Amino acid sequence: MERDAKKIFWYTLAFMAFSTVWAFGNVVNGYSEFGGLKSIVSWVLIFVIYFIPYSLIVGELGSTFKDAGGGVSSWISSTHGKLLAYYTGWTMWVVHMPYISQKPSRIIAAFSWTVFRDNRISKMDITYLQIASLVIFLVALFLATRGVNLIKKMAMLAGSSMFIMSLLFVVMAITAPSITGAKTFNIDWSLDTFMPTFDVKYITSIAILVFAVGGCEKISPYVNKMKNPSKDFPRGMIALVVMVCTTAILGTFALALMFDTNNIPKDLLTNGTYYAFQTLGNYYGVGNLFLVIYAIVDLIGQVSVVIISIDAPLRMLLSSADEKYIPKKLLVKNENDVYVNGLKLVGVIVSILLIIPMFGIKEVNDLFRWLVKLNAVTMPLRYLWVFAAYIFLKKSAEKFQSEYKFVKNKFVGMGLGAWCFFLTAFACISGMYTPESTFQTVMNIVTPIILLSLGLIMPYLAKKYNNK
């Protein structure tokens, strides 16, 4: 009985997964890039054809390899071999480089809104912004070498606070007209308001949706800690999908009350979340109170995330690395148990990513939009390994045992894995094209190619220098 009491229930898993996968910024990004209320149809589509099978695939992989500590790399190692597992680990790490390069400018934006409480960040000179971002990154890199545990605690506090504020925003925004009599935009309930246009812009933005709903493989270790994995895990995942879908739809309606769905502000990706909380404060007669609280929480969260993103993925790559594929120099640690040479590599890559935009992007709003697109192209590349692992698993299903199976039929399972793999790859490739900027298109293509190619060089360097 005591053992059963420690088991995770399906609703607990659903809440754990929800806080891992979803964020209020996803709603704002969808509203901005998919035509306001038209984004609702897009969210529903991506949930049905991608998010549900993705979540249940992760459940079967997690249940099958319940004792594997390396996550996706361990799945690939068990189903295919160590070399491919190394490439998996490299991909899982290197796609964080554009993500890290995005954070310093977000820190500046959060600080600007905290102090000045307006959108002056959008008017900042791009060169000064990137130089300041480079300085912030170098400071964060230095702090990462100190092995600061306080930052991790700050990240947990900021993350949970942001989660609560996002939910409160949706509820308070939708109920504001009836509670406070706030004047909001009227919603046109005609079909044209909600039906998206499936044009080139739509296709090249699908990666944003895929990126938004990814990452649930982080909860895979908890599958076998459930009371009844075969029944409770899919129940928890369906609850997760319902929660995310409900939040996305209600959040979109909340934004439609504040921002005209037919005249979306051009700087919504830059300032949308701050506008939203500022408007909410005006609805309830508290001025900028909600805005300042959100901006402070966002500032703490962004600082924490950039340091953790520098340190944690690098540890995941190097702590389980096979010296056959990784040069020994990268495995050197300092007195704080930090991979110092690995951090130097992070420093070089991210510094380049921070400097290059100064030569091809002129406005801050364009920079923020490009960074969202670049991350939507690069980050989902790690999901490809999840689906590859599932295809390998189902191909050799007779060799493995699992308490939970998404599908029992071998070929149906391989087909579902291939479908999710194809959709992810298609989203990443199509997302590289940016009609309004040749520079951004080239960067979207070149960046992931170079980052992944560096992983091909490492085994050669390991072979050449490790013996010496």
Amino acid identity at 222: Y
pLDDT at 425 over 70: yes
Give the residue, 65 or 423, on which the prediction is more confident: 423
Q: Per mean pLDDT, which range of 147-151, 430-434, 438-442, 454-458 is the poorest?
A: 147-151
Amino acid identity at 19: S
Contacts of residue 318, defined as CB under 8 A and 6 or more positions apart, other chains included, come to 326, 330, 331, 339, 342
Give percent of the chain with pLDDT exceeding 90: 68
Fold (topology level) of 10-466: Amino acid/polyamine transporter I (1.20.1740)
pLDDT at 382 over 60: yes
pLDDT at 80 over 70: yes
Amino acid identity at 213: V
Give percent of the chain with pLDDT exceeding 70: 96
Distance between CA atoms of 150 and 154, rounded to whole angstroms? 6
404 CB neighbour count, 10 Å cutoff: 22
pLDDT at 380 over 90: yes
pLDDT in tens, 122-136: 999 999 999 999 999
Which residues on adjacent β-strands are paired with residue 289?
Answer: none
Domain boundaries, the chain: 10-466
Q: Which residues of 105-125 are buried (b: 16+ CB within 10 A; e: fewer)?
A: bbbbbbbbbbeeeebebbebe
Round the CA-based radius of gyration of the chain to a whole number and report it.
Answer: 22
Q: Per mean pLDDT, which range of 10-24, 174-188, 236-250, 277-291 is the poorest?
A: 10-24
Give the residue, 20 or 304, on which the prediction is more confident: 304
